[in-house]
Amino acid sequence: MKEELDVLEETVSRDYQYGFVTDIETDVVPKGLNENVIRLISQKKNEPEWMLNWRLKAYAHWLKMEEPEWANVKYPPIDFQDIIYYAAPKKKAKVNGLDEVDPELLKTFDKLGISLNEQKRLTGVAVDVVMDSVSVATSFKKQLSEVGIIFCSISEAIQNHPELVRKYLGSVVPMTDNYFAALNSAVFTDGSFCYIPKGVRCPMELSTYFRINTENSGQFERTLIVAEDESYVSYLEGCTAPKRDENQLHAAVVELFAHRKAEIKYSTVQNWFPGDENGQGGIYNFVTKRGICMGDYSKISWSQVETGSAITWKYPSVILKGDNSIGEFYSVALTNHHQQADTGTKMLHLGKNTRSRIVSKGISAGQSQNSYRGLVRAGKHALNARNYSQCDSLLLGDKCGAHTFPYIESKNKTAVIEHEATTSKIGEDQLFYCRQRGIDTEAAVALIVTGFAKEVMNQLPMEFAVEAQKLLAVSLEGSVG
Amino acid sequence: MEKINLEYLGQKFNQLQTIDTDNLLSNVRREGFNTFNKKGLPTFKNEEWKYTSVSDLFKKQYHLTEDELKPAISASQVDEIRLPGFENANELVFANGKYVPELSTIRSSKAQLVILPLEEAANGIYKDLVKEHLGKSSLFINDAIHALNTSFIYGGVFIYAVKGQIIENPVYLYHISDAVENHILSQPRSLVFADSSSKLQLVETYKTIGSMDSFTNEVVEVAVKANAILEYYKIQNDGPNGSHVGTTHIRQIGKCYAHTVVVSLDGGMIRNNTNIIMEAAGNEAHMYGLYLLKGNSHVDNHTLVDNRMPNCFSNELYKGVMDERSTGVFSGKIFVRPDAQKTNAYQTNNNILLSENATVNTKPQLEIFADDVKCSHGCTVGRLDEEALFYLRARGISKEHAQAMLLKAFAESIIEQIKIESLKEYAEQLIEERLKGDNS
Instruction: State residue A138's pLDDT score.
Output: 60
pLDDT tens for each residue of B326-339? 999 999 999 999 88
b/e string for A65-96 if b means 16 or more Cβ within 10 A?
eeeeeebbbeeeeeeeeebbbbbbbeeeeeee
What angle do helix axes B399-415 and B386-394 make, rounded to 10 degrees? 120
* A215-229 exposure pattern, b = at least 16 Cβ within 10 A, e = fewer: eebbbbbbbbbbbbb
Assign A328 a pLDDT band (cuts: 50, 70, 90): very high
Q: Which sign, positive or negative, has the C-alpha torsion B117, B123, B126, B130?
A: positive
Give the lowest-confidence range in B279-293, B348-362, B371-385. Answer: B371-385
Q: Where are the beta strands (DSSP E) in B279-399?
A: 284-293, 298-307, 313-322, 327-336, 344-353, 359-368, 374-382
Determine, for residues A411 and B359 on separate chains, whether the beta-carbon distance falls below 8 Å: yes
How far, rounded to the nearest angstrom, does the alpha carbon of residue B195 sit from its chain's CA centroid?
Answer: 21
The Cα–Cα gap between B298 and B245 comes to 11
On the question of pLDDT at B440 being above 80, the answer is: no
Domain boundaries, chain B: 6-280, 388-440
Give A408's contacts in chain B (Cβ within 8 Å): 360-363, 379, 381
Please give the helix or strand (H or E) that residue A226 lies within, else none. Answer: strand A222-227
Task: Report which residue type is found at B35.
Answer: T
**Distance between CA atoms of A345 and B62, rounded to whole angstroms?**
43
Share of chain B above pLDDT 70, in %: 96
* Least Cα separation, residue A46 to chain B (angstroms): 42
Nearest to A403 among B367, B372, B383 (CB): B367
- How do residues A267-317 score in pLDDT, each as one tens digit? 888 877 777 777 777 788 888 999 999 999 999 999 888 887 888 888 999
Distance CA A274, CA A337 (A): 8
A100 pLDDT above the threshold of 70: no
Q: Does A423 touch chain B (CB under 8 A)?
A: yes
Cα A14 to its chain centre, rounded Å, is 24
| Cβ B355 vs Cβ B370: under 8 Å | no
Query: Residue B384's closest CA among B350, B429, B416, B428?
Result: B350
**Which is it for the CA torsion B91, B93, B97, B99, positive or negative?**
negative
Helix (H/G/I), strand (E/B), else coil: A311: strand
Rounded to the nearest integer, the mean pLDDT of chain A is 79
CB contact under 8 A, A410 and B354: no
| Residue B374 to chain A, least CA–CA distance (Å) | 5
- Please name the residues in contact with B15: beta carbons below 8 A apart, sequence gap of 6 or more: B66, B67
- CA triplet A247, A26, A277: central angle to 5 degrees? 25
What are B156-192's pLDDT values in tens digits?
A: 999 999 999 999 999 999 999 988 888 889 999 999 9
Q: Nearest CB to B379: which of A405, A419, A422? A: A419
Residue whose C-alpha is closest to residue A320's, from A287, A293, A290, A281: A293
* Cβ distance of A400 and B371 shorter than 8 Å: yes
**Closest C-alpha to B261, from B427, B78, B56:** B427
Nearest to A480 by CA among A457, A448, A455, A438: A448
pLDDT digits (tens, 9 = 90+) for A206-238: 877 666 655 556 678 888 999 999 999 988 887
The Cα B172–Cα B235 span in angstroms is 11
How do strand B359-368 and strand A401-410 relate by DSSP bridges? antiparallel
**Cβ of A427 under 8 Å from any chain B Cβ?**
no
pLDDT reported for residue A79 = 82
Q: What is the pLDDT of residue A322?
A: 94
Letter for the amino acid at B98? K
Mean pLDDT within A422-444 = 85
Q: In chain A, which residues have their Cβ closer than 8 Å to the Cβ of B383?
A: 413-414, 416
* pLDDT band of A478, cuts 50, 70, 90: very low
Chain A, nearest residue to B337 by Cα: A401
Asked whether the predicted pLDDT for residue A408 surpasses 80, the reply is yes
pLDDT of residue A123: 42
Alpha carbon of B348: minimum distance to chain A alpha carbons (Å): 9
Percent of chain A's residues with pLDDT above 90: 28
Classify residue A15 by its DSSP letter.
P
Q: What are residue B301's phi and psi, to 5 degrees?
A: -105, 115
pLDDT in tens, B194-220: 999 999 999 999 999 989 999 999 999
Residue of chain A with shortest Cα separation from B329: A409
pLDDT per position as a tens digit, A101-113:
556 555 655 555 5
- From chain A, the residues in CB contact with B48 under 8 A are none
User: A133-180 pLDDT, tens per residue?
Assistant: 555 556 667 778 888 888 888 888 888 899 999 999 989 998 888 888
Q: How far is A347 from chain B (nearest CA, A)?
A: 14
Give the 3-state secondary structure of B396-427: CCCHHHHHHHHHHHHHHHHHCCCCCHHHHHHH
In 3D space, the residue among A296, A323, A305, A300 whose CA is nearest the CA of residue A254 turns out to be A300
Confidence grade of residue A323 (pLDDT, cut at 50, 70, 90): very high
Residue among B366, B372, B381 whose CB faces A410 most closely: B381
Query: Could you give the percent of chain A with pLDDT greater than 70?
Result: 76
Minimal C-alpha gap between B80 and chain A (Å): 36
B383/A408 touch (CB, cutoff 8 Å), yes or no: no
Q: What share of chain B is helix, strand, coil (3-state, %, to 5)?
A: 25, 40, 35
- Give chain A's length: 481
Q: Which helix (H) or strand (E) holds A138?
A: strand A134-138
Please give the Cα distance from A421 to A390 (Å, whole number): 6
The beta-carbon neighbor of B383 closest among A402, A414, A424 is A414
For residue A7, what pLDDT is reported?
Answer: 46
A60-81: pLDDT as tens digits? 999 888 888 887 778 888 888 8
Residues in A 290-329 with any Cβ partner in B closer than 8 A: none
* B378–A70 CB contact, under 8 Å: no
* Mean residue pLDDT across chain B: 90
Phi, psi of A114 (to 5 degrees): -115, 75
A70 shares contact with chain B (CB less than 8 Å): yes
Residues B295, B324: Cα–Cα separation, whole Å: 5
The pLDDT value recorded for residue A242 is 56
CB A291, CB A249: distance < 8 Å = no
Q: Which residues pair with B234 in a beta bridge?
A: B204, B262
Inter-chain CB pairs, A–B, below 8 Å: 114
pLDDT greater than 60 at residue A44: yes
At A118, the pLDDT band (50, 70, 90 cuts) reads very low
Among B318, B299, B298, B316, smallest CA distance to B307 is for B316
Interchain proximity A417–B378, CB inside 8 Å: no
**Closest CB from A396, A410, A414 relative to B360:** A410
Question: Mean per-residue pLDDT for B103-127?
Answer: 92
Do A128 and A137 touch, CB atoms closer than 8 A? Answer: yes
- Higher-confidence residue: A238 or A404? A404
Query: Which residue, B43, B70, B69, B66, is CA-closest to B54?
Result: B43
